[in-house]
Chain A
Amino acid sequence: MKIQENRNGENLYIYLTGELDEHSVCSVREQTDRLIDENAGLSRAVFNLAGVKFMDSTGIGFLIGRYKKLQKYGMTMYLENPNAGADKILALSGVYSLVPKI
């Protein structure tokens, strides 16, 4: 998976591209956590999922894990542009009650 970042004011944007599953999640977690650590002073982290072609429940675990990490830094997390498949499991898992979709 490819991970890109963009800082804009108080916002850290994280763009994920590829297929998020058990195979790819380790490296995605490592890279994302590094980005979060480097930008710990900001208020918000927005995960843009437009490039995520596939995601299973491993992705749910990953996103909730990042939510907990960001919470420790006092940062709010948001999700942006999931495709229909990702949206379906995000809604089913109740992720949006913790991490709003914008």
Chain B
Amino acid sequence: MNEMQLRIPAKSENELFARNTVAAFALPLNPSLSELSDIKTAVSEAVTNCIVHGYAGQEGWIEITCKIDGECLHIQISDSGKGISDIEQALTPFYTTLPGEERSGMGFTIMQTFMSTFTVQSRAGEGTVVTMSKDFGAKAEANAQ
């Protein structure tokens, strides 16, 4: 079992750092290129949400914790921003609260599709916590069948 914590300011320049750091942490699991790409994309989506929606351009901190447990990578990404008032609506593919900004509304759908498990908890005014995990090795193969 290994763990790591990362605390970064909610700035878009940190997206690349965050996704590459989590991908580097996952390397002992011997991920394929495609699995690495899935992790990077899911992390990038969650971190972008913190910056664009959680803090909406204001200053704030994003906390990322990762854990490797057996052949599973657990990732938790949280902010203390404005939160999501209607999670069900936010999870709808193509739904976006910022339609004028060329947002695709696919962030949560991508996280759900690319990871083995995904949950989001949020309270308006308090922040959002995204928890996701990805299986590797024999377990990932069993899931695929």
Partner of A54, one of B12, B40, B52, B106: B40
Residue B104 lies at the interface, judged by CB distance under 8 Å to chain A: yes
Inter-subunit contact A56/B41 (CB<8 Å): yes
Name the A residues within 8 Å of B106 (CB-CB). 57, 60, 89, 92-93
A24 to chain B: closest CB distance in Å? 8
Inter-subunit contact B16/A19 (CB<8 Å): yes
B23-57 near A? 1/0 per residue, CB < 8 Å: 00000000001100110110011001001100000
Interface size class of A (residues with CB under 8 A): 20 to 34
Interface residues of B (CB under 8 A from A): 12-13, 15-16, 19, 33-34, 37-38, 40-41, 44-45, 48, 51-52, 101-107, 109-110, 113-114
Inter-subunit contact B41/A89 (CB<8 Å): yes
Interface residues of A (CB under 8 A from B): 19, 21-23, 29, 54, 56-58, 60-62, 64-65, 84-85, 88-89, 92-93
B48 to chain A: closest CB distance in Å? 5
Inter-subunit contact B45/A57 (CB<8 Å): yes
Of the listed residues B13, B40, B44, B48, the one surrounded by the most CB atoms of chain A closer than 10 A to its CB is B44
Inter-subunit contact B41/A84 (CB<8 Å): no
| Complex Cα spacing A68 to B105, Å | 16
List 5 extra interface pairs beyond A54-B44, A57-B45, A58-B104, CB under 8 A.
A56-B44, A56-B45, A57-B105, A84-B33, A88-B37
